[in-house]
């Protein structure tokens, strides 16, 4: 395994961090026919992205501040894909060869039901996107669909899911995104988050694991107590 | 002072406005058509407001929001002055949106309205194109409608905040092939600039260079390949853009 340490905003991770909604089959199953009702009016025709803004991105081991208006957050254990070559309206094979490597992401999210508007207050709080600890070379993980993602709260595995549950497998997802939004070297794509992501609150230690990618562990602290 | 980022003689460089011309750091003055214009800032985060003018909210058949309607965009969508924006072949309604863009000047967290202007580096013009018939109901408006490649022209200049006495009283004008199609004033915003700085900084840290696109007034009309669209804001400049067809 070839792995180098990742630092948000550093040379390997200099671009955007995008997440993808509705890319885990269980998300669609839960919604059921609601996706055809108001206000959604039908399944989206392409990948639905959200942004984990620069203020959210922190490294492994850094504390996640939990704001005073937030009781609990979801531990959004996920696979992160880092891009090394620009993708614009790319095919699946081109997308696959543009992957620099993989890392772990915790897409920390305030629980919310409505998917109608973009969830800034739920997903873009300071420190809500731990990333790391390292970037594992794409050549070392030829088939990410075989991997299992595990979410831990205080050392206990609370949820796990397999990446064969992705609606769009990794390379297909990148290719489909690049139909309307180019991906650039240093961008990171969170390929999907399970709707069963466990809850945690200030005082808890949370972690994400995928075999071969190590462990991404962070402590949740009340905002103001994190001594940033 | 008005600053630009341009490409000229094989490198990216800073330039300044000088009596209608573009002045380089070595003092040479060029016509604006002699340089390649780049987005005047390279933002980390691009926040954008929907429905922030009551007349535009009514125009697209929505109620005016009680809380800012916010969406995010990626850097892929930015292009500079005099650039080209592709119109997808299956678009039935692609329209421009002339918007005042705020550029953040320093780290901003929990900023009170009264102090908001201290956190602004300057202003520029943004044209926040939308392919209206791509609008869907999940994370609306999603990236497919609002963060398309090359669909947010921005510039020409980053204008110092100190040069704009009252950003809440600027005339916005859009011309398509020379004809005025959109007119408004920033004083008609529902959520004004100081409110927005307070609102965002209450839940996220804004960083230097971050952009806030503040929404557009009434008068958004469909544009077609070949159309020249000029979005202009009083005191900030006129941002030129040309629509091209998206190749298959």
Nearest CA to CA, how far is A117 from chain B (Å)? 4
User: What is the number of domains present in chain B?
Assistant: 2
What pLDDT, on the 0 to 100 scale, is given for residue A228?
47
**A54 pLDDT exceeds 90?**
yes
Which of A49, A87, A118, A183 should one mutate to test binding to chain B, selecting the residue with the greatest count of B CBs within 10 A? A118
pTM: 0.96
CB under 8 Å to A33, separation ≥6 — which residues?
none
**A157 pLDDT exceeds 80?**
yes
What number is the average pLDDT over the span B149-174? 98
What pLDDT, on the 0 to 100 scale, is given for residue A39?
95
* A100 located within any domain: yes
What pLDDT, on the 0 to 100 scale, is given for residue A18?
98
Same domain, B174 and B133: yes
Contact B233, B241 (CB under 8 A): no
CB under 8 Å to B115, separation ≥6 — which residues?
none
Same domain, B66 and B24: no
What number is the average pLDDT over the span A200-226? 94
Same domain, B150 and B87: yes
Judge whether B163 is closer than 8 Å to chain A, CB to CB.
no
Same domain, B45 and B167: yes
Question: The CATH number of the domain where B12 resides is what?
Answer: 2.30.30.370
Question: The CATH number of the domain where A205 resides is what?
Answer: 3.90.850.10
Show which residues on chain A lie within 8 Å of chain B, measured between beta carbons: 15-16, 18, 21-22, 35, 38-42, 44-51, 53-56, 67, 88, 115-121, 124-126, 177, 180-184
* A202 located within any domain: yes
Cα first-last separation, chain B: 42
* A36 located within any domain: no
* A39 located within any domain: no
Contact A66, A219 (CB under 8 A): no
Nearest CA to CA, how far is A185 from chain B (Å)? 12
Question: The CATH number of the domain where B202 resides is what?
Answer: 3.90.850.10
Q: Quick check: B143 and A15 CB within 8 A? A: no
What pLDDT, on the 0 to 100 scale, is given for residue A12?
87
Q: How confident is the model at residue A95 (pLDDT cuts 50, 70, 90)?
A: very high
What number is the average pLDDT over the span A154-165? 97
What number is the average pLDDT over the span A157-167? 97
**A5 pLDDT exceeds 90?**
no
Output the average pLDDT for chain B. Answer: 95
Which of B139, B145, B146 should one mutate to test binding to chain A, selecting the residue with the greatest count of A CBs within 10 A? B139
Which of B47, B73, B74 should one mutate to test binding to chain A, selecting the residue with the greatest count of A CBs within 10 A? B74
What pLDDT, on the 0 to 100 scale, is given for residue B19?
95
Judge whether B138 is closer than 8 Å to chain A, CB to CB.
yes
Same domain, B97 and B156: yes
B247 vs A119, more confident: A119
What number is the average pLDDT over the span B34-50? 96
Burial degree of A12 (CB within 10 A; 0-12, 13-18, 19+): buried
What pLDDT, on the 0 to 100 scale, is given for residue B61?
63
Q: Please give the residue range of the domain that contains residue B5.
A: 1-38
What pLDDT, on the 0 to 100 scale, is given for residue B62?
65
Q: How confident is the model at residue B43 (pLDDT cuts 50, 70, 90)?
A: confident
A225 vs A28, more confident: A28
* Least CB–CB distance from B148: residue in A42, A67, A180: A180
**A6 pLDDT exceeds 70?**
yes
How do residues A97-142 score in pLDDT, each as one tens digit?
999 999 999 999 999 999 999 999 999 999 999 999 999 999 999 9
Question: Residues of B with CB below 8 A from A121's CB?
Answer: 203
Nearest CA to CA, how far is B29 from chain A (Å)? 34
Q: Quick check: A182 and B149 CB within 8 A? A: yes
What number is the average pLDDT over the span B25-36? 97
How many Cα atoms are found within 13 Å in the side-chain-facing hemisphere of A202?
A: 13
């Amino acid at each position: 395994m070839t792995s180098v340490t990742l630092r948000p905003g550093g040379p390997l991770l200099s671009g955007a961090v995008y997440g993808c909604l509705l890319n885990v089959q269980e998300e669609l199953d839960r919604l059921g026919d609601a996706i055809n009702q108001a206000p959604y009016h039908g399944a989206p025709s392409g990948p639905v992205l959200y942004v984990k803004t620069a203020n959210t991105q922190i490294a492994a081991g850094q504390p996640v501040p939990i704001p005073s208006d937030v009781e609990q957050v979801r531990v959004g254990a996920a696979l992160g894909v880092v891009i090394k070559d620009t993708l614009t309206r790319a095919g699946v094979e081109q997308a696959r060869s543009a992957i620099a490597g993989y890392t772990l992401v915790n897409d920390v999210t305030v629980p919310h039901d409505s998917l109608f508007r973009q969830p800034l207050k739920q997903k873009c709080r300071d420190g809500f996107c731990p990333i790391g600890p390292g970037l594992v070379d794409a050549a070392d993980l030829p088939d990410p669909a075989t991997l299992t993602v595990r979410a831990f709260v205080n050392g206990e595995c609370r949820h796990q899911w397999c990446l064969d549950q992705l609606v769009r497998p990794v390379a297909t997802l990148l290719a489909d995104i690049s139909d309307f939004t180019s991906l650039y070297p240093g961008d990171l794509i969170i390929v999907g988050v399970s709707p069963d992501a466990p809850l945690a609150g200030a005082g808890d230690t949370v972690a994400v694991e995928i075999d071969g990618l190590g462990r991404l562990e962070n402590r949740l602290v009340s905002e103001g107590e994190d001594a940033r | 002072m008005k600053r630009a980022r341009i490409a000229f003689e094989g490198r990216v460089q800073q330039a300044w406005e000088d009596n209608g011309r573009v002045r380089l750091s070595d003092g040479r003055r060029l016509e604006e058509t002699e340089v390649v214009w780049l987005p005047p800032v390279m933002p980390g985060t691009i926040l954008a407001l929907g429905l922030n003018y009551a007349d535009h909210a009514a125009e697209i058949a929505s109620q005016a929001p009680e809380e800012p309607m916010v969406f995010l965009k990626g850097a892929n969508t930015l292009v500079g002055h005099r650039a080209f924006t592709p119109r997808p072949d299956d678009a039935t309604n692609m329209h421009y949106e002339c918007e005042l863009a705020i550029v953040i000047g320093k780290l901003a967290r929990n900023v009170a309205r009264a102090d908001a202007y201290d956190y602004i580096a300057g202003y520029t013009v943004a044209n926040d194109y939308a392919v209206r018939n791509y609008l869907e109901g999940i994370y609306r408006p999603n990236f497919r409608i609002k963060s398309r490649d090359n669909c947010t022209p921005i510039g020409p200049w980053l204008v110092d905040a100190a040069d704009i006495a009252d950003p809440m009283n600027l005339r916005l004008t859009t011309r398509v092939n020379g004809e005025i199609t959109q007119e408004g004033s920033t004083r008609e915003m529902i959520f004004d600039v100081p409110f927005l700085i307070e609102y965002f900084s209450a839940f996220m840290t804004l960083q230097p260079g971050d952009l806030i696109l503040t929404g557009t007034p009434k008068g958004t009309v469909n544009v077609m390949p070949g159309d020249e669209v000029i979005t202009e804001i009083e005191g900030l400049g006129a941002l030129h853009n040309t629509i091209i067809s998206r190749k298959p």
